Amino acid sequence: MCEACGAPDMQGTCEICGELWDDCICPECPICGEQGKPDCYEGHGLIKTDKQIKNKERKDKELAEEEEYYRIEGEKIMATVAEKRE
């Protein structure tokens, strides 16, 4: 997200629904025309839908599981490297 204006980082995922920007399910803000911008939910009166909330929860869970998988795999690799050095 842009520190100056709060606009979303178009390279990553939407902070509201958790989808990649090409697949974002957030509506366009009727005030500023932006999509998936947190400021629109805080200051422009947009309200998150159940679909957005559940989707974000699911995406966050998937990301946490993926991060845990790679953490464990990284530890396995480091242990193998350490064994080979001994």
Q: Give the SS3 label for residue 63.
A: helix
11 versus 51: which is more confidently predicted? 51
Answer whether 0.75 is exceeded by the pTM: no
pLDDT score recorded for residue 34: 92
pLDDT score recorded for residue 2: 55
66 versus 11: which is more confidently predicted? 66
Confidence of residue 1 (pLDDT cuts 50, 70, 90): low
Half-sphere exposure of 45 (CA within 13 A, CB side): 4
Q: Give the model confidence (pLDDT) of 3-31 as tens digits.
A: 555 555 556 889 999 999 899 999 999 99
Q: How far is CA 7 from CA 28, 35, 48, 81, in A?
A: 13, 9, 17, 43
